[in-house]
Structure formats: structure tokens, C-alpha cells
Chains A and B, each alone.
Chain A
Amino acid sequence: MSPPQRRRRSPKAARQEKPAPPPAGEESGPGRSRELERLYVVTGQASGGDRAELDLVTLIVTCADAPPTAQPEQLALLRLCRAPMSVAEVSAYLNLPFSVVTVLLTELLTAELVQARVPIVRSELPDRSLLEAVMHGLQKL
């Protein structure tokens, strides 16, 4: 018996930095958009009116005491990030979608209550010493 057969594809012209928008017909649900809106109103005009550029593996660290006005979601986040923690982990522990966590984080970054440590992303010329460090780390597993 022989396996089913695939046909190879070629790279498409350079993609935009931004992820593709959701296909037509897929959008935020009513409950979800209301919640986002509520969070968004608090956000105001952070960094050009948009959400901060946050990756799943941007590391977040709390750098100031919570103000008395902090909301419960913010307090929970500030507690979690006393040690550095990725946005993905924050999302998992708070049981909130990544998109909602990025809104919360934009507020906290604007208020300078947390710092973000940007991840290393794949680039045209990957840093070989970085790749070697990862291999070395994996070998110890």
C-alpha cells in the first residue's frame, strides 16, 4: 500500500508583518467584544492608540507597587509577574484569552507598573551563538 501524495508549494511574496486578518464571517462574539470594549476604554490612547506589540513569549515583570485604584484583574497580573513571566503563562494562569491579556498589559505598561522584555524572533540572519546556546541547553535535558 502506498501513502497519499502531496504537492510541494513555493514561498509567497514577502508577507506583511501583521498577521492576516480573520477571514470574513469570523469576528469577536457579542459578549467578548463588550468585555474588550470595557477594557479598551480604560486603556485610552496607549502607544499611538493601539495595543502594545506583545508576543506570546514577551516576558513581563512587575516593577512598581499596585496603586490603590488597581482593578482586580490588574492586581492578579501584578502579583503573577513578580518573577518574570511570559504573556502566554499569564493568559493560562488568569484563564483569560491572549487578546484580553494584551489589553490589560497595555494599560499596565502605560502606567509603568510592569516592564516588557521583548523576545528574540527569527530574522533573516539568525544569531548562530543563540542557536548554539539552545542546542547546548537541550543537550542537558
Chain B
Amino acid sequence: MDFKSSETVPGPRAEDHLPHTATAAVKIVIVGGFGVGKTTMVGSVSEIRPLTTEETMTQAGIGVDDNYGSDTKTATTVAMDFGRISITEQLVLYLFGTPGQERFWFLWNGLFEGALGAVVLVDTRRLEVSFDVIGRLEERGVPFVVAVNDFPDGPHYPMEDLRAALDLSEEIPMVKCDARRRASSRDVLMTLMRFLHSIAMAQASA
């Protein structure tokens, strides 16, 4: 990017500025395979037009680790869409739509470690795409809920069959959703928050 003049950098619209009272932020991660509806969900609840943050990663060819081997390296750009919801004058919630492959997660410091929790978006047309994501969250101890995105051309399984297929324990909430609808996406986020709240209650009384 050319930085000849800072005036040329397009900033947020005036109404997209956070108030000066904004002192802290929290984040929730929406994770799932390509085309499952992550960006759609972020966009349907965000108060700003979804933005994108990118990292470029290069894969070195065998035996190539110097600056002259660029022609044998393949660059992968990994993009993450995100949106924002102002909770109070002080508190802001950010939502990140994150690619399902764990090998990309290290690109963003503490993406999952710092998140309140995660939403795993599942597409019944390609259920197995979410298997690894769910396993990684289990290994990392990240609390999550599963949202089943209802695509009209996808197979319709009873929720209990899906729970069994995903081998989810009873306490993990599952919901159907239409990521294109704000109310439906909001309900998914509420389900996650209620789940986190119940975990906090249980820990407090333990």
C-alpha cells in the first residue's frame, strides 16, 4: 500500500466511530468451513459494515529458506471478517468469522484464548468439515455452542442425530439458525452467552 498521504486512507464513517467512553472490548469467534455462513452471520448482527483483516502466509518449497527462493514459495492470504456490536457506552463486542483450519489460528495472537467463547457453524451438506474444528476447541478448552445453518438443499437430520454424529456432550447447546436473519443470528449469540453464564454459575458454586 502506498502511504503518500494519510488523508487518502479511508476511515470509518462518522457514525461508525466508537465513543470516547469505550474502555474495553470482548470478542466472540464464529468458526466453520468455507461457505458455511460466517461472514453472513457477522454482517447480520454487526452495527458496522463487516471489515476484513488479512495475513499473508508463505509456504516454503523444500530446502528453500533464503530470500532468493520466492518463486518456489506459495503465498496464502488468510482473511478474517469481523463486525462490532456496542453493548454499553463502555463495552464493545467484536465478532470474528474465522477459517476452520487450525493452522491459520496462530496468525492472530490469542484469537481463541482470549475469546469469551465460540460459535461453531455447521452445514449439514458437509458435516465432516466441522469435525476437526470442534475437536480443536475441545482440546483447547474453549467453550462453544453449535449452530446448524439451515440450507434448503442440505439434508435435514433430527437434532438428536446431529448431536450423536458430532459426538457432543449433553450440556453443549445446539441451535438451528438462518445466518441471514438478524434475529436468528442474535439468538445464536444469546445461546452462547447463556451457556457461558451457566458455566460461570457452576464454577462459582463449586
* Contacts from A to B (Cβ < 8 Å): 1-12, 15, 17, 19-23, 25-34, 53-59, 61, 71-73, 75-76, 78-80, 83-86, 88-89, 91-99, 102, 117-122, 124-128, 130-139, 141
Residues of B within 8 A of A119 (CB): 24-27, 114
Chain B interface bracket (under 10, 10 to 19, 20 to 34, 35 or more): 35 or more
Query: B residues 28-80 with Cβ under 8 Å of A?
Result: 45, 51-60, 65, 67-70, 73, 75
Beyond A120-B26, A131-B196, 14 additional pairs, beta carbon < 8 A: A8-B168, A10-B139, A28-B58, A56-B110, A79-B11, A84-B20, A92-B51, A117-B23, A119-B26, A120-B24, A126-B196, A126-B200, A137-B93, A141-B182
Q: Identify the closest chain A residue to B140 (Cβ).
A: A15
The answer to whether B9 and A89 have CB atoms under 8 Å apart is no
* Contacts from B to A (Cβ < 8 Å): 1, 3-6, 9-12, 17-20, 22-27, 45, 51-60, 65, 67-70, 73, 75, 82, 84-88, 91-94, 96, 103, 105-111, 113-117, 124, 127-128, 131, 134-135, 138-143, 155, 157, 161-162, 164-169, 182, 186, 189-190, 193-194, 196-197, 199-201, 203-204
Chain B nearest CB, measured from A103 CB (Å): 13
The answer to whether B139 and A11 have CB atoms under 8 Å apart is yes
The answer to whether B5 and A72 have CB atoms under 8 Å apart is yes
CA distance A79 to B18 in the complex (A): 14
